[in-house]
Amino acid sequence: MGTKLGNLKAEARNLARAGQLLPALAAHVHMLGHNPLDGDSRRKVADLLAALGDRAGAVEVYRAVAMHDIRSGHLPPAIVSCKVLVALGENVDDLVAAMAAAYAHGSRALAKFVARQAPVDLDSELAPPDPAAFVDSAALVAAARSRALDFSAFQQYPDRTLPVPFFSELPRKLFPAAIEMLRLVRADDGDLVIRQGEPGKAFYFVATGEVRVFAHLPSRPEPVERAHLHEGALFGEMALYSEQPRTASVAVVGEADLLEIGRDAVSRLCAEVPALAERIDKFARERVLRNLLTTSPLFKPFDHKQQMDLMKRFEGHQVDPGTTLIREGQVGQGLFVILLGEVEVTKQDPEGERPLARLGPGDLFGEMSLLTDAPTTATVRALSPTTILFLGRPYFHRLVSAIPALRAYFEDLARIRHQSS
Ligand code: CMP
């Protein structure tokens, strides 16, 4: 009976975690025998050789695997190997030069479309490793080295590779400094890399493995799953872009190698490469909007094109902390949606100003007076630098008269808010 590759990998991971390094190594040698295109097992062999004290073997495998990753289009895992090699006291100038030549801005090796090797199929079945296959640890270590160094299954490397977000914006001369600025974070299952609500001091690239992004929204009891991210993906950029607390939490699934870059390092690179700053801003803005479109009830009744049309009706505003967006007792000007940041809702009582609520990303306000045509019932002030979208009164009215489901939604929201004010 065969076992799924994904399960064998999980078993090998558990063995390594439990300090059973030789059985873990045997498992990877076995998997690599069946799947010579599996870069992950090759890197694991290097990690296990290092952990077993075979420094020379580990260095040889990390080097070969890094060069292979560079040539086959996998820059982030190649950076991981470089970081480990540096920690082992090795000089990696040659590898960094090869990375810069292949991936830096303007490299002729970059192309928009290239054929990429399909990822290994984790559902494919193979026989479980034979426990008697390696009774002799020296023989196992030797077999692991030679298997991880055998690249004969690769007939030909592609002439071109795809640009890698962020890195392929960097000019060649900045590449070594940028690689040096990265810190390798080797994280395990369930590790929380980013915690929602905390300040952001860095962002991350997924180099190997997987992370899961999830957010707690004030309006929902359960966390919302935002995404699962894999090799090459970037996360944690939103807090840097907006100078706001983290908008979501990010946890490791299985295990992951992450490359962390601090806020100051990013600022230094952006000062030298303005295109990089623009890219990061655009990327963060698009993610914020995508999150709004996928979670806000306001956009739910529409298909993608209609959502885009509606989005165009909104004006975007960036406001400073303390800015009053709505003043109690006035005519409602329109509907507000919070993209980033936080606002406080207060009501004037005979005893003074009474706080009613705090609202955050995805929340709406301003709907009550628009529905009733009565004066605004509370004051809303920005608590932090806040990005809002504003929809003028006439558009709001057109929207709710065209879409009864939206009117019902706003009426429910207004009723609940009215009851708790
Ligand atoms: P930040 O708010 O700094 O920290 C949490 C990160 O989760 C956030 O930056 C984004 O990088 C990431 N994130 C939020 N929403 C999504 C999404 N829909 N898809 C992928 N990543 C996301």
Q: CB within 8 A of 145, min separation 6: which ones?
A: 45, 49, 54, 57, 60, 61
pTM exceeds 0.85 for this model: yes
- Cβ 10 under 6 angstroms from ligand 1: no
Structural tokens at position 178 = 């940028």
For residue 334, the model assigns a pLDDT of 95
Helices (H) and strands (E) in the chain, counts: 15, 16
Q: Output the residue whose Cα is nearest ligand 1's atom 5.
A: 248
Q: Which atom of ligand 1 is nearest to the CA of 226?
A: 18
The residue nearest atom 7 of ligand 1, judged by CA position, is: 248
The one-letter amino acid code at 323 reads T
Q: What pLDDT, in 10s, does the model give residues 343-366?
A: 999 999 999 999 999 998 889 999
Q: How far is the CA of 229 from the centre of ligand 1 (A)?
A: 10
Tens digit of each residue's pLDDT (9 = 90 or more) over 305-328:
888 888 888 999 999 999 999 999
- pLDDT tier at 219, thresholds 50, 70, 90: low
Which residue, among 304, 314, 355, has the nearest Cα to 338 in the 3D structure?
314
Nearest protein Cα to ligand 1, atom 9 = 236
Q: What is the 8-class DSSP label of residue 130?
A: P
Q: Which amino acid is at 208?
A: T
- For residue 175, report the phi and psi dihedrals to the nearest 5 degrees: -55, -50
pLDDT surpassing 90 at residue 302: no
The model's pLDDT over 64-103, given as tens digits with 9 standing for 90+, comes to 999 999 999 999 999 999 999 999 999 999 999 999 999 9
Tell me which of 196, 216, 247, 263 to substitute to probe ligand 1's pocket, judged by most ligand atoms within 8 Å of the beta carbon. Answer: 247
Tell me if 241 CB under 6 Å of ligand 1. Answer: no
Residue 339: in which H helix or E strand, if any? Answer: strand 334-340
Is the model's pLDDT at 131 over the cut of 80?
no
Q: Is the CB of 200 under 6 A from ligand 1?
A: yes
User: Measured from the CB, is residue 361 less than 6 Å from ligand 1?
Assistant: no
pLDDT digits (tens, 9 = 90+) for 324-342: 999 999 999 999 999 888 8
What's the pLDDT score for residue 1?
A: 66
Instruction: Indicate which atom in ligand 1 lies nearest the CA of residue 247.
Output: 2
Give percent of the chain above pLDDT 90.
69
Ligand 1 proximity of 235 Cβ (cutoff 6 Å): yes
pLDDT classification of 241: cutoffs 50, 70, 90 = confident
**pLDDT at 301 (0 to 100):** 83
Instruction: Kindly report, residue by residue over 169-196, the tens digit of the pLDDT.
Output: 999 999 999 999 999 999 999 999 999 9
Residue 419: the pLDDT is 87
The whole-angstrom separation of Cα 43 and Cα 233 is: 19
Residue partners of 303: CB distance under 8 A and separation at least 6: none
Residue 245 has pLDDT above 90, yes or no: no
Spacing, Cα 294 to ligand 1 middle (Å): 13
Is it the case that residue 399 has pLDDT exceeding 80?
yes
**CA 4/CA 121 separation, integer angstroms:** 9
Q: Whose CA is nearest to atom 6 of ligand 1?
A: 236
| Residue of 203, 238, 243, 285 with the most ligand 1 atoms within 8 Å of its CB, for mutation | 238
Say if residue 418's pLDDT is above 90. Answer: no
Q: Ligand 1 within 6 A of 341 CB?
A: no
Checking if the pLDDT of 155 tops 80, the result is: no
Percent of the chain surpassing pLDDT 70: 99
Nearest CA to ligand 1 atom 19: 227
Nearest residue CA, atom 14 of ligand 1?
248
Q: Kindly state if the Cβ of 73 falls inside 6 Å of ligand 1.
A: no
Bridge partner residues of 387 (DSSP): 318, 340
